[in-house]
Structure 1
């Protein structure tokens, strides 16, 4: 099984390299030493014709034929499933890229999103759409033009007043806390944090999704949410806790964390300890905690500006896309939300290109009206 996982990771890495080469507009970087890949995928001038053939191509039949022809005595169905998906996505993604970018390269479609902002302890709101260096009650607050705000203080500074960083849908932002811990917050998230941590605990409150790189200390660092708390000393992890989502999760990259989950239906709590590569998924309404081994690269792809979904239902995908581009998504038929997808694409391609890729992969259609997106068959 380890060999299979290694091959899957290698395929993902190659796919990312191909996407980067295509984004740079340098086809020679895609496969300079692979005449077979050139023959299978085609040079840019032939890709339009290759794409047109897709509509009449029976992918299900071809996949079954591929598995039958290549399955060894020791069956590895999961690997074939992923390998076939990666191959199909590469061909569709590469073809679609050149088809859309023939002649000139368009600016990715996006809606203008509200900028992130701080709410200080006295209620003052600070917009983070410009460079800032301000002194506030003994603190130095610095906002760069790189999407990161930091809090700096003198050692004798004792106040631990609460502040809030608000990230509207359609944007992301980073924060450096007073202890040096770095937090990257995803769209539609908020983080409540003190100007300076107390001596016995470093506590913040998360609503949404955040990637935490915690400065090591003997003082525990605790991330609280409505249904899940995470306790660490120094580590790197990703936590997703949107109030409207049916599942909250924590994925550990490095170190060790203790996770405590709170049920919404009773006073029952569930506690577990995660080691790197494990994810805790908790369903607050049902009170069910599940621990899985996951691909941390996939789980944290959003930090690299990527959408990466493997066997994820369309409802979940559109929820994430809606948050990322400040879109309101509705489905004509609830059953469309259950369609599973394999998608990997850069966020900066813009939501219109992403929706076209989803249409090519699933057959569903999209109707756009302002920031309203209707999904139908």
Structure 2
């Protein structure tokens, strides 16, 4: 059965409108779901428990084994939608069942990526073009959002620096002169030499980027406002936005050193900007690079941090009617090319918050 068919049957069941055949269909579906739930990679067991508890707590005055089973089915439907990438409206029926979903659409922002050359010129990267910087160094920008410096050469006498700035709702990839690849997330910028000079390959990052560094004799260093990440050749993600309370490095391949700590593949290092504490832990690396795969993924994340990430993609304004809502936690996933309402609707369904949207402003309230 499709998601919409499941939801329609659950709705009819709650309203005592199911035929015996329809009741049998939903029972068979739920039994099959119970058997296969543990195989769903997106939903850990503790999330199943959270969802069951969240929806069961909303039952006002309706007790009994029969009702509990119905709401476990409702949770299963929610989980199925999460695995598929989110739940937006459940068509028009969801609002009738007590969930006030967002009616206005906030779409991903569409800013222009800008390249600043060493002489101060700013070049909007809106089309495929060949750019020449000082001393004739060749930079190619193609239609697949890749800025290529591999033909820049190494004839510059003095270090020459470029900066690429990616706005809200954007992503861009840079091939550095040594062949290393950097993929920048939204609201991020990278400053780098063209070509590399001296004994190290050093770049400066604001925001978030995924690095795939070509092995070489010269160490590769990523400098942010909070830390230096030092590598020889590896694949890793670095996130250090100015308004985040911590900076993170997540390693996929190779080995990196950060603040005298070494981490190995599958580990994440987090640096607290508030107290300078460093912690390392093994993580699901897919969670930290999901942005490159066109998805938002959240695992037990604070609502305030989720909304900050949404703001960087949709370029919206977020306000809270009650400051205590900032600390609520949520797990889920949604495609980034969807309107913001897609993810907001998911959060509304499984938490006690609701969102009021006016233009590009989002007000977070208690239900």
- Give the TM-score range, shorter chain: 0.7 to 0.9
- The answer to whether the 8 A contact 2:118-2:133 is kept is no
Structure 1 distance, partners of 2:343, 2:77, is: 16
Which residue of the partner structure matches residue 305 of structure 1? 294
Structure 2 distance, partners of 1:119, 1:43, is: 47
Distance 1:180 1:342, change over 3 A: same
2:323 to 327, 331, 334: 334
Distance 1:53 1:317, change over 3 A: farther
Distance 1:192 1:330, change over 3 A: same
Q: Which runs of 5+ in 2 are unaligned?
A: 16-33, 36-42, 52-75, 94-104
Which residue of the partner structure matches residue 239 of structure 2? 240
Structure 2 distance, partners of 1:296, 1:112, is: 26
**Aligned ranges for residues 8-19 of structure 1 at < 5 Å?**
none
Q: Which of these two proteins has the greater Rg computed from alpha carbons?
A: 2
Which residue of the partner structure matches residue 266 of structure 2? 277
Which residue of the partner structure matches residue 101 of structure 2? none
- The answer to whether the 8 A contact 1:305-1:347 is kept is yes
- The answer to whether the 8 A contact 2:130-2:140 is kept is yes
Which residue of the partner structure matches residue 150 of structure 1? 148
Partner of 1:349, secondary structure, is: coil
2:46 to 76, 81, 99: 81
Structure 1 distance, partners of 2:229, 2:12, is: 50
Provide the TM-score with structure 1 as the length reference. 0.74
Question: What value does the CA root-mean-square deviation take over the aligned residues?
Answer: 2.8
Distance 1:178 1:159, change over 3 A: farther
Partner of 2:337, secondary structure, is: helix
Structure 1 distance, partners of 2:200, 2:91, is: 52
- CA offsets 1:175-231 (integer angstroms, 9 cap, x no match): 111111111111111111111101311000111011000011010000001111100
1:118 to 115, 119, 139: 115
Distance 1:206 1:53, change over 3 A: farther
- The answer to whether the 8 A contact 1:119-1:163 is kept is yes
Partner of 1:300, secondary structure, is: helix
Q: Which runs of 5+ in 1 are unaligned?
A: 1-37, 56-68, 71-77, 103-107, 261-270
Structure 2 distance, partners of 1:51, 1:158, is: 72
Greater displacement, 193-202 / 248-257: 193-202
Provide the TM-score with structure 2 as the length reference. 0.76
Distance 1:365 1:83, change over 3 A: closer
Distance 1:53 1:203, change over 3 A: farther
Deviation at 1:308, TM superposition (A): 0.7
Alignment of 1:164 with 2:129, yes or no, is no
Greater displacement, 137-146 / 90-99: 90-99
2:132 to 119, 131, 135: 135
Which residue of the partner structure matches residue 14 of structure 1? none
Structure 1 distance, partners of 2:224, 2:248, is: 11
Distance 1:111 1:349, change over 3 A: closer
- The answer to whether the 8 A contact 2:229-2:257 is kept is yes
The alignment covers a number of residue pairs equal to 302
Higher relative contact order (CA 8 A, sep 6+): 2
Which residue of the partner structure matches residue 278 of structure 2? 289
Structure 1 distance, partners of 2:250, 2:365, is: 33
